[in-house]
Amino acid sequence: MPYQLVEVSTATANVCCPYCDHAVLDWEQEQYIQPCEHTLFIAMDLGFEYIADRFEEALPQPVEEIHEDPNMNIFLSVTQANYAVMLIYKADLGVEGMFRYIGFNQN
């Protein structure tokens, strides 16, 4: 499925929605995950932190199954979702080889 990848260079940067400019990752909030209506998912390589119902329905496997898979590959799972178009932000977690992914779409 088509997606566009945007690399976010620093782990501590706020990430704003490209459509409404809401800070979806807001490090000034105690609850720093603040999804907006355009947020499809927020995930780290370790698992999902947030997932919208409409995106969960589009995944090839239920989230519980993805989390239970010892060879879990979050990025591969989200890019296999049956979703027309999405934008994926990829942020370095500051730990070697670990990333956070945030998916958006305009609906």
| Residue in this structure with the two tokens 């409409």, named with its chain if needed | 54
Query: Whose CB is nearest to Zn ion?
Result: 17
Our finding on whether 89 is near Zn ion (CB under 5 A) is: no
Judge whether 104 and 80 are in contact, CB under 8 Å.
Answer: no
Our finding on whether 38 is near Zn ion (CB under 5 A) is: yes
Question: Which one of the spans 12-20, 42-50, 58-66, 87-95 is the region binding Zn ion (CB under 5 A)?
Answer: 12-20
Our finding on whether 19 is near Zn ion (CB under 5 A) is: yes
Q: Which is nearer to Zn ion, 66 or 102 (CB)?
A: 102
Among 36, 58, 63, 72, interactor with Zn ion by CB under 5 A = 36
Minimum Å gap between C-beta 27 and Zn ion is: 18
Closest-CA residue to 47 (of 27, 62, 67): 67
Our finding on whether 50 is near Zn ion (CB under 5 A) is: no
d(CA 50, CA 34): 9
**Pairing mode, strands 3-8 and 86-92:** parallel
Rounded to 5°, the CA angle 70-75-80 comes to 100
The residues that touch Zn ion, with contacts defined as CB under 5 A, are 17, 19-20, 22, 36, 38
